Homo-oligomer: A and B are copies of this chain.
Amino acid sequence: MEKAISQKDVAKIIGVSTATVSNAFNRPDQLSTELRQRVLSECAKLGYSGPHFAARSLRSGRSDVVCVMLSDTLSYSFSDPMANLLLEGISDVLAENQKQMLLMSSTISSDAQIRAETLPDGFIFYGTPRGSSFDRILSLGKPCVTVDFTYKNLPSLNVDNYGACCELAKAAIRDKNDLVAVIGMRFLTASIVKRLSKQDMSLPSKEITWSRLLGFKAGASDKGVDIVSDNIIHLHRNKPKEAEIAARLLLMQEQRPNLILCMSDVIALAVCRVAQQLNLRIPEDLRVTGFDDIEEARHAKEGLTTVFQNGIEKGREAATMLLEGVTEHRKVPVELRLRGTH
């Protein structure tokens, strides 16, 4: 395959300057419609499909590429229902605005990725970033929007995790005799399933799961119930397999909880499956709540009690904020969905 034809080549063949070819593609107002049409159709004939991406980007300083920086590996994110909904919303708005989507993970800082960080015109950070990319990208001074976390006065999009979880706990807890447990992810950086220690409780991170936990505790406290650290299970990731392990841990212990507040529907549904295997009836023997209200939660026979957040709308909003240059902190509404499992 020989080298592709360039703007200079087609300009010479058509008999105009390169500026005219460039303008035909980029600035229609700079030349007559007739000339523009002629140039464009000649280009098509010659197999020139428009300015070379890297050259244009170098010269103009723009790429029309938006980076979505995920706080976990891409691979994991594709398996997470809420991440998929968010990406759905983002990709819609980007497509509507002729932007390309580059997916990166802040868990990676290879040379190649560091280099690629200079490509996008803007960034959407989804979830608290892990590695060094966040600082590097901030120093680039390009537009950024943060989702599910806040950083100084960067525009951000969040959910009222604390409030929603407080309300949910109040709705799900009957009286002070309830034994309440919690399963959530990312309380710690540990990559194993484990109970929290008393000490862990004094070191909350910026992860949203801590806001949720504090919400649960506040709601529980309102009902006269204390959620002890021993009954709070940390998962590395929002994965069914991990959640099943956590559920077994809780449901086979001497003092079996009769209510498990889960930080996601994925976890809650896994708990329901384990309960079924152990012949525990829901909600008679065990009550379970989720978070997110993913589609599968609505398919469950009992109907999962959970908190709805609109992932697609959240993605759309985040992308819109970036493209419109919004500079404020915004909230996405959430809604309690009280169904059969509590």
Least CB separation from A119: chain B residue: B53
**Is A103 an interface residue when CB atoms closer than 8 A count as contact?**
yes
The interface stretch among A85-93, A165-173, A213-221 is: A85-93
8 Å CB contacts to B: which residues of A38-93?
A: 47, 49-58, 63-65, 73-76, 78-79, 84-85, 87-89, 91-92
Q: Point out the residues of chain B lying under 8 angstroms from A89, CB to CB.
A: 75
**Is A197 an interface residue when CB atoms closer than 8 A count as contact?**
no
Q: How far is the CB of A300 from chain B (nearest CB, A)?
A: 10
**Is A25 an interface residue when CB atoms closer than 8 A count as contact?**
yes
Q: Point out the residues of chain B lying under 8 angstroms from A74, CB to CB.
A: 87-88, 91-92, 95, 101
8 Å CB contacts to B: which residues of A97-144?
A: 98-105, 108, 110-119, 136, 139-141
Q: Are A85 and B78 in contact (CB-based, < 8 A)? A: yes
CA distance A140 to B2 in the complex (A): 9
Q: Point out the residues of chain B lying under 8 angstroms from A110, CB to CB.
A: 95, 98
Q: Are B58 and A112 in contact (CB-based, < 8 A)? A: no
Q: Which among A1, A53, A65, A113 has the highest number of chain B CB atoms within 10 Å? A: A53
Given A1-B141, A87-B78, A240-B295, answer yes or no on A95-B73 (Cβ-Cβ < 8 Å): yes
6 contacts between A and B (CB under 8 A): A1-B140, A50-B114, A53-B118, A58-B58, A64-B116, A100-B116
Least CB separation from A1: chain B residue: B141
**Is A296 an interface residue when CB atoms closer than 8 A count as contact?**
yes
**Is A299 an interface residue when CB atoms closer than 8 A count as contact?**
yes
**Is A176 an interface residue when CB atoms closer than 8 A count as contact?**
no
CA distance A141 to B295 in the complex (A): 42
Q: Are A54 and B51 in contact (CB-based, < 8 A)? A: no
**Is A339 an interface residue when CB atoms closer than 8 A count as contact?**
no
Q: Point out the residues of chain B lying under 8 angstroms from A4, CB to CB.
A: 118, 140-141
Q: How far is the CB of A181 from chain B (nearest CB, A)?
A: 22
CA distance A113 to B50 in the complex (A): 11
CA distance A55 to B49 in the complex (A): 21
Q: Are A100 and B87 in contact (CB-based, < 8 A)? A: no
Least CB separation from A60: chain B residue: B54
Q: Point out the residues of chain B lying under 8 angstroms from A111, CB to CB.
A: 25, 50, 98
**Is A174 an interface residue when CB atoms closer than 8 A count as contact?**
no
**Is A273 an interface residue when CB atoms closer than 8 A count as contact?**
yes
Q: Which among A74, A116, A295, A299 has the highest number of chain B CB atoms within 10 Å? A: A116
Q: Point out the residues of chain B lying under 8 angstroms from A117, CB to CB.
A: 49, 53
Q: How far is the CB of A63 from chain B (nearest CB, A)?
A: 7
Q: How far is the CB of A256 from chain B (nearest CB, A)?
A: 23
CA distance A295 to B92 in the complex (A): 26
Q: Point out the residues of chain B lying under 8 angstroms from A78, CB to CB.
A: 78, 84-85, 87-88, 91
Report the 7 A-B pairs with minimum CB-CB distance, sorted nearest first. A1-B141, A98-B112, A74-B91, A54-B57, A54-B58, A53-B119, A53-B118
Q: Point out the residues of chain B lying under 8 angstroms from A112, CB to CB.
A: 64, 98-100
